[in-house]
Structure 1
Amino acid sequence: MENLELEILFQDEFFIAVNKPAGMLVHRTNIAFEENVLIAERLLREQTGKKVYPLHRIDRPTSGVLVFGLSSEAASLVQPLFPTDDVKKYYLTVVRGYMSENHGIIDHPLKKKLYGDLQDAKSEYWSISQNEIQIASTSRYPTSRYSLLKVHPHTGRMHQIRRHLAHDRHYVIGDSTHGDNRQNHFFKNTFGMENLLLHAWQFEFVHPFNKEPIKLQSRIPDYFIDICKKLGLSVPI
């Protein structure tokens, strides 16, 4: 891990974007006490020789596009845009069951940091692929259904996608916090997989200096593609 380098997706004089692997923190937190924990901010600083400023967060078990400013000024110009249409994030995720609609919106308030006052929260989803496998994941049904979704969180609440999909009982596979442990055990025992199947796939923002639209896309992890193939789900290229 000493020579690990992050895959750079985009870089100019103001911003740099990388494909964060699952299991890596964005920055040091008070809840990560491991001595050898991997931190994207530190690795990228060592890799580029420049100080970097995270524009947003991705949960530790989530992979995908992560954008940094190369100055505090650049970061401060983009961070306020996240609640607007000037910044759009699209995730890929595998969930239990079939969605009732191919395209829909989950508009359900969520508590701040899992406690306290409710905050408005809205997630938009598109069903990319769905399939029924001839294997029982629980004792209730002889077969199991799964869907591959693209999800755009219009708001940025803590664990928003995972909590919204859990609210609709379409649990994200591999989610040990808000998911279905029976499904997680099934995937571990049947496929040897323990990863969270949530990937920050695409990121779009309006460059605050030249006003050009920037569209980024990250490579989907091999374990994600492999499990989709085993489930008969078609992964977008």
Structure 2
Amino acid sequence: MSLQRDDAVATENSRVRPDEALPLRLYGNRNSGHSYKVALFLQLSAIDYEYVHINLDTNRAHRPAAFRRLAKFDEVPIVVYGDIVLSQSNAILLYLSRKLRRYEAMSEYDQELIHQWLFWEANRIGFSLSNLRHIRRLGLTEPELEIYYSNRTKDDLDRLNQEFSQGEKSFLIGERPTIADISCCGYLFWAREAEINVDQWPAVSAWLSRIRALPGWIEPSALMAARNP
């Protein structure tokens, strides 16, 4: 059994490096919800790290050479932890949670439940809402795609609302937040940019309020702007 440490939820005044011999670097972008998920994990865990902003508006060939060498998929986020290079936000969360013992599962079964939610997020809310936000934020004229992603996003919010409506629990896996919550909540804090009012799903809205109440939580624009040029 792997127990989450009591200091997993830390405050801004107790920031630590995970290992002085293994500095941690995050490559991300201020508008990337996937970057925000990793930054939020580090923020809530009071883990010190170096941040490198990647301008995704530039041509891929013109992005920093160091980033292109590390990013096998040429996407953000990328985490470098010692000689370990990780890509894909949920894979990063899994590794860091296990390695740093932050926001991890309390049992083997709970770990499997976390995996389920991470895979669901990648194919559902982290896909549908992110694309809907992109279309509406940039004012793209893609009516068929907009309807498709809007319907998927609402279905995903229905699913999350049902999850919290059918039982007494504060977070996705139980009474403690895990990386499942950090992953699934990421883009929802940008829902208004997708013209989605999360208050229409009261159980989801209440869950997000509980996440906002975690010591150290910072909303996306403030957290990412604080570490961007």
Scaled to the shorter chain, the TM-score interval is under 0.3
Larger Rg over CA atoms: 1
TM-score by length of structure 2 reads: 0.27
Larger strand share, 1 or 2: 1
Identify which of structures 1 and 2 has the higher relative contact order when contacts are C-alpha pairs closer than 8 Å and 6+ apart: 2
